């Protein structure tokens, strides 16, 4: 049984009472923890509710005057932390008391592992799409947008980015990328890789980190027998177009950062154009649904 202090970073933006439930679950952990809630200017009373319901010296609330985005809001407490492990947890997640202890034990047995993730479930018990995934290279993104994985379902060149439809492994495995909704990080690896890239506002910063960890030789571990439920969209359900804008903008930055010298310019431009066309189509659909909803 480990006695290491674990720091937990939760970035909040108008997540309501879910934030309090999340923090309460973390503070009930079987290992020593400290919780940093980095709030991006919430106006829904979520911070007031948290302070009213939980009075604990292990809880630290950082009030940002505006919405700084996930990466920047995470880096603020990250630069103050000295613990051996840091858990990045979305405020619309609830964890069981022994989860951190179990995950840390697995990482202590594997000093080559820089970060680890667990099975993330939707409310209906299904696996969340971004829980375990391949890195979305420009080619894989084109395959996804054109649904070529459905045309050639068994061809290794036409694989889907998400692995959620594949059978769960029987044991821990190494992956290319996990979800930032639950990401346990080794301090030594983090110091080697550096902070989160603040050029991302929302989404894709976890993929960026996974890429950089692997570039530095650190392994990414996925544990299928540990699970949490993620109420996806708890902090952004009222701003779908805003979220999609930053998600697609983040993907374009991701491609330029990691793949602009590995792929022909023509393919890069085709993929980027496809990304923005997809965003426009989604925006129309989301706006229409909101108008008739």
C-alpha torsion angle, residues 108, 111, 112, 118 (rounded to 10) = 10
With beta carbons less than 8 A apart as the criterion, state whether 215 and 107 touch: no
- CATH for 6-235 is 3.90.550.10
Residue 94: which H helix or E strand, with range?
Answer: strand 93-94
User: Average pLDDT in the 103-120 region?
Assistant: 96
Q: What is the pTM of this model?
A: 0.93
Other Cβ atoms within 10 Å of 9 Cβ, number:
23
Q: Where are the beta strands (DSSP E) in 126-243?
A: 132-133, 173-174, 177-178, 182-186, 219-230
Contacts of 63 (CB under 8 A, 6+ apart): 39, 41, 47
DSSP three-state, residue 184: strand
What pLDDT, in 10s, does the model give residues 117-166? Answer: 999 999 899 999 889 999 999 888 888 878 888 888 888 888 888 888 88
DSSP three-state, residue 131: coil
Confidence class for position 202, pLDDT limits 50, 70, 90: confident
Q: What pLDDT, on the 0 to 100 scale, is given for residue 8?
A: 98
What are the domain boundaries of the chain?
Answer: 6-235
């Amino acid at each position: 049984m480990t006695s290491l202090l674990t720091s937990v970073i939760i970035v909040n933006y108008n997540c309501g009472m879910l934030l309090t439930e999340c923090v309460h679950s973390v503070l009930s952990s079987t290992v020593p923890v400290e919780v940093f809630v980095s709030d991006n200017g919430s106006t829904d009373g979520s911070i007031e509710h948290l302070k009213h319901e939980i009075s604990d010296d292990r809880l630290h609330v950082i009030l940002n005057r505006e919405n700084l985005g996930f990466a920047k809001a995470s880096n603020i407490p990250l630069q103050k932390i000295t613990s051996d492990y840091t858990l990045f947890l979305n405020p619309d997640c609830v964890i069981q008391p022994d989860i951190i202890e179990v995950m840390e034990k697995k990482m202590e047995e594997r000093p080559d592992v820089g970060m680890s993730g667990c099975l993330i479930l939707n409310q209906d018990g299904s696996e969340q799409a971004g829980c375990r995934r391949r890195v979305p290279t420009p080619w894989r993104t084109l395959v996804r947008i054109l649904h070529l994985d459905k045309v050639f379902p068994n061809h290794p060149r036409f694989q889907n980015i998400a692995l959620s439809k594949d059978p769960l492994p029987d044991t821990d495995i190494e992956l290319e990328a996990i979800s930032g909704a639950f990401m346990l990080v080794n301090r030594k690896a983090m110091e080697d890789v550096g902070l989160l890239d603040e050029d991302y506002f929302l989404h894709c910063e976890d993929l960026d980190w996974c890429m950089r960890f692997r570039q530095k030789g650190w392994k990414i571990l996925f544990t299928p027998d540990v699970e949490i439920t993620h109420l996806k969209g708890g902090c952004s359900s009222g701003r779908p177009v805003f979220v999609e804008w930053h998600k697609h903008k983040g993907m374009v930055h991701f491609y330029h950062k990691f793949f602009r010298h590995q792929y022909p310019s023509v393919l890069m431009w085709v993929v980027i154009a496809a990304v923005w066309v997809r965003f426009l189509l989604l925006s129309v659909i989301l706006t229409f649904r909101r108008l008739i909803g």
